[in-house]
Amino acid sequence: MEAKKQNIRHLNLDEIKVFLKANEVQAFRGKQIYEWLWKKSARSFEEMSNLSKDLRQLLSDNFTLNAVTIHSSQTSSDRTIKFAFKLFDGNIIEGVLIPTETRMTACVSSQVGCSLSCKFCATGSLGFTRNLFYDEIYDQVAIIGQQAIEKYQIPLTNIVFMGMGEPLLNYDNLLQSIEIITNPEGLGMSPRRITVSTVGLAKFIKRLGDDDLKFNLALSLHAANDIKRQSIIPVSEHNSLKTLIDALKYYHAKTQNRITIEYLLIKGFNDTLNDAKELAVFCRNFPVKVNLIEYNSVEKTGYLKSMKETTTAFAEYLESKNMVVNIRYSRGKDIDAACGQLANKIKNK
């Protein structure tokens, strides 16, 4: 029975050098291989053109790359592109390229499906299959970055972990992927250009503070009232607003990072002036900016987006309290690529 090949991207540079030494290959080749894997985003050993044919064959005989591939894609009328990515085990995840006049943003997934079952989110209806490995997260960024240049001639400027899954439930792979993405020997992106969005898991938010990480943290709040929040985000039964406030205060004290509050405006549910007042009280506890997000329709939820005048009044109330507020209008709605809509319903176009 043939031995199962190891994923070479799960080895560090020293481990690659140990393998090369055992096979009487010069150590400097290790650095070349490592550069192909993480700086040049090689999809196969055959691409490693400065290695001999024999060395490429040696790598192929002993290792896999398990590279993520584009299964299919759709382009929206607003130029947003949604990708279905195929993983080595046949699972499908989704990622999105969001182009604007000033930014080229990759929205990436951290899990296959999601276990949190948030009532407003299509991904939550899929259930949870598995966590992504750090190289699978990296591949999404690398591929979307290549597509940004190919399609729009503009390099990637930002990364948001707002795709499928709860990033903090895949903590180690999340951090390892960001380390490679930001490392000069990897993609070399600034951590300040990366935002990790969480539904609000207090113990992991505190852990982020202890680890003193430099990327941006966004909290998907959607209601500053425990009863309302628990009705749409089941996990918040164990992460009350008080618990979240304590965790976010701890995180801010450790990192001095301003926190982004994401707030979906749902018609008749969380969009009244009283809801705005509750949100303003919640946000007094630490420096924040608030993104008010247009709700995107998801089948079988029964939820609708707020009226434009309601959204404006909500924003104006927060601004009257000297809060930084942005209204985020949806991108890619016509291809189910907008916030909360990722559910593997992709079609080839």
Active site residue 185: no
- Residue 287 and residue 205: Cα distance in Å, rounded? 16
Strand, coil or helix: 172: helix
Which of the following is catalytic: 94, 136, 166, 262?
Answer: 94
The strand pairing partners of 99, in sequence order, are 104
Active site residue 283: no
Q: Which DSSP symbol is given to 321?
A: T
Q: Are strands 81-86 and 92-99 parallel, antiparallel or unpaired?
A: antiparallel
Which of the following is catalytic: 107, 118, 283, 339?
Answer: 339
Residue 349: burial class (beta carbons within 10 Å; 0-12, 13-18, 19+): exposed
**Using N-to-C axis directions, what is the helix angle for 28-38 and 13-22, rounded to 10°?**
130
List, in sequence order, every beta strand (DSSP E) within the chain: 6-7, 63-64, 69-75, 81-86, 92-99, 104-107, 111-113, 128-131, 158-161, 194-198, 216-220, 259-265, 288-294, 324-328
List active site positions: 94, 339
